[in-house]
């Protein structure tokens, strides 16, 4: 598993405002979207492409275009929705499949409550988006789900991650023989005893969409 921590002053600047508890929901949503676009640039470095013949007004030349099947973007509901727009802006021809996961606040285990994904993902490159890689439980379940259905290259894009979450993913997914990449805006210090990232930004779903 490859882990890329985006090291760019613009990303850290936007993350600082995102973390600030005084930042309201509309600003939080805009910043999350902007951050995803920056992270997606790094996350799509190995997106599959093929040669494409064109003619400029001056001469024929060979460029590239995205290969088929097109990449699949998988936002994990609910907070992952806040990252979808930024991701499709960079990959407008990608398909989108949804996975609803919620964690049990006592056991911190993830359960699936919604699934709108194709059954057959053979040969698909998948981009999972979820702002918080905390315990890593949700992401581990999602990555295994996609790999079991044939996805053969999976990248997760998160705003924040923890060393504990990364260790959990490495442990849980050690048997998967496909490229797995985690791209994150920052590696935070740790998880607290309630499973929140420290210093983190609080509950990403609540900060994006309010309390439900």
Question: Cβ of residue 88: shortest distance to ligand URA, in angstroms?
Answer: 22
Q: Does residue 203 touch ligand URA according to CB under 6 A?
A: yes
Q: Does residue 209 touch ligand URA according to CB under 6 A?
A: no
| Cβ–Cβ < 8 Å for 182, 2 | yes
Question: Cβ of residue 199: shortest distance to ligand URA, in angstroms?
Answer: 9
| Contact with ligand URA (CB under 6 A) among 31, 134, 140, 156 | 134
| Contact with ligand URA (CB under 6 A) among 204, 208, 210, 212 | 204
Q: x/- site string to ligand URA, residues 37 to 76, per CB under 6 A?
A: ----------------------------------------
**Phi, psi dihedral angles at 167 (to 5 degrees):** -60, -40
Question: Cβ of residue 95: shortest distance to ligand URA, in angstroms?
Answer: 26
Q: For the segment 71-130, give every residue that binds ligand URA (CB under 6 A).
A: 79
Token reading at 4: 């890329």
CA 187 to chain centroid: 14
- Give the interface size with ligand URA as a residue count (CB under 6 A): 10
Distance between CA atoms of residues 151 and 126, nearest Å: 7
Report the interhelical angle of 81-90 vs 25-43 (nearest 10°).
50
| Cβ–Cβ < 8 Å for 16, 35 | no
CA 159 to chain centroid: 8
* Among the residue ranges 17-25, 108-116, 143-151, 196-204, the one whose residues contact ligand URA (CB under 6 A): 196-204
Distance between CA atoms of residues 105 and 12, nearest Å: 29
Question: Cβ of residue 137: shortest distance to ligand URA, in angstroms?
Answer: 10
| Contact with ligand URA (CB under 6 A) among 132, 156, 157, 180 | 132
Distance between CA atoms of residues 111 and 103, nearest Å: 6
Question: What b/e readout covers 181-196, taking b as 16+ CB neighbours within 10 angstroms?
Answer: bbbbbbebeebeeebb
Q: Which residues bind ligand URA (CB under 6 A)?
A: 79, 132, 134, 195-197, 200, 203-205
């Amino acid at each position: 598993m490859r882990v890329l921590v985006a090291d760019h002053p613009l990303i850290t600047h936007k993350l600082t405002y995102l973390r600030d508890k005084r930042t309201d929901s509309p600003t939080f949503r805009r910043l999350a979207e902007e951050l995803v676009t920056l992270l997606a640039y790094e996350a799509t470095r190995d997106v599959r492409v093929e040669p494409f013949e064109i003619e400029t007004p001056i001469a024929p030349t060979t460029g590239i275009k995205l290969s088929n099947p097109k990449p699949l973007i998988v936002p994990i509901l609910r907070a992952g929705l806040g990252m979808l727009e930024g991701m499709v802006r960079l990959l407008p021809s990608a398909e989108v499949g949804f996975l609803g996961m919620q964690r049990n606040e006592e056991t911190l285990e993830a359960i699936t409550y919604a699934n709108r994904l194709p059954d057959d993902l053979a040969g698909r490159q998948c981009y999972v988006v979820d702002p918080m890689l905390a315990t890593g439980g949700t992401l581990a379940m999602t990555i295994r789900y996609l790999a079991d259905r044939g996805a053969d290259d999976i990248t997760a894009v998160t705003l924040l991650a923890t060393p504990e979450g990364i260790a959990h993913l490495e442990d849980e997914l050690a048997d998967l023989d496909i490229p797995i990449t985690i791209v994150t805006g920052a590696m935070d210090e740790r998880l607290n005893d309630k499973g929140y990232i420290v210093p983190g930004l609080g509950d990403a779903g609540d900060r994006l969409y309010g309390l439900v």
